[in-house]
Structure 1
Amino acid sequence: MTTALITHADCLAHVTPPGHPEQVARLDAVLSALDGLDLIRVAAPFAAESDLLRVHPQRHIQAVREAAPDEGWRPLDADTFMSAGTLSAAWRAAGAVVRGVDMVLGGEAANAFAAVRPPGHHAERETPMGFCFFGSVAIGAKAALDHHGLARVAVVDFDVHHGNGTQDLLEEDPRVLFCSTHQMPLFPGTGAADETGGHDNVVNVPLRDGTGGAAFRAAMEAHVFPKVEAFRPELILVSAGFDAHAADPLAGLMLQEADFAWVTHRLCDLADALCGGKLVSALEGGYDLDALGRSARAHLEVLMERGK
């Protein structure tokens, strides 16, 4: 077995206004950086509506459908825009994570990476925000629990922004552990250390502006990894945001590609020890194109190495 790369051209059809950081070129940069790697390449399917309904009510799904324009852009808030291609892209982004879960739990791949956009970790139960429409990783977690019958799933989010949507969608489910490292203060303003979930199943690790790799690694070792180990998940899901890179224009953490490779290795260590290596990762943020491509490749090279 090896690593599955799950993506779709529809994710390039979600077009944002000129100058918007969540742009088509982001996915182009990731896919170009992964070109030539020996991956199982899979077309992302549309998520089933039943999968979305595990975390979002029908009225949210319908509201997103009805907001889709025939042409141009429609703003849902100051940062979150829909184009004619957005709806298909968002449904495939969620479908990619579910497909990754199916492949890894079904033995078709050792691990998987969903190279998709729009991202998902800011989408709350009934609120699209922060460039996000559906909570793709949360949807994947619920599919693993409800469809595959797992008892425990851990989600680790190392995007520079707090995964408020993922937390909102999962924090009342004792079968899920959600852990997030993120810069604070920063959008969306959530993610304080005292936000611990309905069942002590949320771990938030705020990092100060200017935090570098050594402090990030120490925080992971002190706060996130022990909690994951104690939870003993049967699957680890990763919200892989690469906007904590020092070159990223939207935030102020100072990570490098080596830090993303390190955290990927450590998450694979936990997956090997706890759940037979079962790990599914999904692209979230990352807005400097060169840094994004290099960081995604570093992440995938580790997944491939560990998935052999």
Structure 2
Amino acid sequence: MVTGIFYHPSFSRRSYLTQGSRLQDFPQALEPLLHDERFVLMESPPISEDWILKVHSHELLEGVMRDTLCSTAWHSAGGVVLGAEKIALGEIRNAFAFIGAGGHHSGRDFFGGYCCFNDVVLAITVLRERYGLRRFAILDTDAHHGDGTRDLVRHDPDVLHVCLCYSSYESPDGTKVDVPVPGGLSLWQVFEGTQKDSSAPEADMDHRYYETARKAFYDRCVRFQPDLIFWYFGFDTHRGDYGDIGLTRKAYLLIAHMIKELAEKTCAGRLEVVLGGGSRSDIARHCIPPIIAVLGGVSL
């Protein structure tokens, strides 16, 4: 089976923190993957209002409709949902979903941090109602805490949510976990101009970050036995981006290999990587295509 890549042209014109710049080189930056039969590019459709209201309140929907930063939210969430559906149907093995507006800061009745609809929780809702999948594992390595996702799955024992961020927490049942990362900053600290922790040498950060992610997620996921794994991947943690904790592409590729292996071990390879934060087009161009290549079992 192939790896699905989900994208919409609007993501290149208006995406996340900037109007078009971070994804300005896509989808053409995915060459030569686009000519490899192991990959298929699909256009992200808009999510329907009916599905949105199964997850979010009417007030949130109305707020998103008024927010110009959320103009790509419908296609962003729709691509994530379609990717999950194609995996559930067995039409693709795994997926990478681009987004124009993020998801993990969007809860039942609040949104912000350039996130509008909670794409991953929408996908979980569709998979449960349409395809009978029940248990899901989420690894969130965006620079900031996935507070919206946590709000929506807090009382759901069939969702394992592990977030690498700036706090330390584990729920009594062990399914909701926050793990502090050396050098990590909250979104609010970034906006306030707080400097990242320089105590950890940058040369060591890639492996230290990867080992933190593996220790926090791998064994928990094996015990949990999900039906599908989501990796909420933000490159905002890369050197020079707004959540800089000193990472390079190496850290993301280590996690990509790890999480693909984990999906093969626990849920027949069912894995969706969802793009999160990050603002620089050069970093996007440098990091995203090799991660997609890992999903398809090739190297660039």
Count how many residue pairs are aligned between Structure 1 and Structure 2: 276
The partner residue of 1:126 within 73, 97, 109 is: 109
Contact 1:160 1:244 in 2 (8 A): yes
* Residue in structure 1 matching 2:296, options 276, 300, 304: 304
**Deviations, residues 37-92 of structure 1 (Å, cap 9, x unaligned):** 13211111111223222321122112322x14xxxxxxxxxxxxx15xx43x1011
Q: Which moved more, 1:153-162 or 1:285-294?
A: 285-294
TM-score by length of 1: 0.83
Tell me which amino acid in the other structure corresponds to 1:33.
Answer: A
1:22 and 2:18 matched: yes
- Asked if the contact 1:172/1:198 (under 8 Å) is kept, the reply is no
Contact 1:237–1:279 (Cα < 8 Å) also in 2: yes
Structure 1 unmatched runs, 5+: 69-81, 185-191
Partner residue in 1 for 2:177? 203
CA distance in 2, matches of 1:51, 1:286: 27
1:27/1:116 contact within 8 Å kept: no
CA distance in 2, matches of 1:30, 1:297: 10
Deviation string, structure 1 residues 178-227 (Cα, Å, up to 9, x no partner): 11112x3xxxxxxx212x34743211111121451121122122222111
What's the counterpart of residue 177 of structure 1? 160
Distance 1:198 1:131 in 2: 31
Counterpart of 2:233 in structure 1 is 240
CA drift of 1:124 comes to: 2.1
SS in 2 for 1:285: coil
Paired with 2:215 and 2:233, the residues of 1 have a C-alpha distance of 20
> How many angstroms apart in 2 are the aligned matches of 1:22 and 1:126?
24
Cα deviations by residue, 1:81-113 (Å, 9 ceiling, x for unpaired): x15xx43x1011111011001111111111111
3-state DSSP of counterpart to 1:53:
helix
Aligned: 1:116 with 2:111:
no
Is residue 2:44 matched to residue 1:44?
A: yes
Q: How far, CA to CA, are the matches of 2:174 and 2:55 in structure 1?
A: 20
Residue 76 of structure 1: aligned partner:
none
- What is the distance in 1 between the residues matched to 2:235 and 2:28? 16
Q: Distance in 1 between the 2:257 and 2:31 partners?
A: 21
Give yes or no for contact 2:163–2:179 (8 Å, CA) kept in 1.
Answer: yes
Relative to 1, partners in 2 of residues 1:15 and 1:235: Cα closer, same or farther, differing over 3 Å?
closer
Q: Work out whether residues 168 and 177 of structure 2, in 8 Å CA contact, stay in contact via their aligned partners in 1.
A: yes
Aligned position for 1:77: none
State the Cα distance separating 1:133 from its structure 2 match: 0.8
Contact 1:145 1:153 in 2 (8 A): no
Q: Which moved more, 1:49-58 or 1:269-278?
A: 49-58
Change in Cα spacing, 1:305 to 1:15, as seen in structure 2 (3 Å) is: closer
Residue 112 of structure 1 aligns with an amino acid whose one-letter code is A
Partner of 2:271: 279
The superposition leaves residues 120-154 of structure 1 with CA deviations (integer Å, 9 ceiling, x where unpaired) of: 11112212210111111121122222322112111
CA contact (8 A) 1:30 1:297 kept: no
In terms of mean alpha carbon deviation, does 3-12 or 232-241 score higher?
3-12
Structure 1 match to 2:214: 221
Greater shift, 148-157 or 46-55, is seen at 46-55
**Which residue number in structure 2 is paired with residue 79 of structure 1?**
none
Equivalent pair of 1:122/1:135 in contact (CA under 8 Å):
yes
Aligned residues of 2:10 and 2:100 also touching (Cα < 8 A): no
Partner Cα distance (1:236, 1:27) in 2: 25
Superposed CA RMSD = 2.1
- Structure 1 ranges of 4+ moved more than 6 A: none
User: Is the contact made by 1:155 and 1:237 (CA closer than 8 Å) also made in structure 2?
Assistant: yes
Distance apart, 1:305 and its partner CA: 0.6
User: In the TM superposition, what is the alpha-carbon distance from 1:247 to its structure 2 partner?
Assistant: 2.8
Amino acid at match of 1:29: D
Contact 1:30/1:292, CA 8 A, preserved across alignment: no
User: Structure 2 length normalisation: TM-score?
Assistant: 0.85
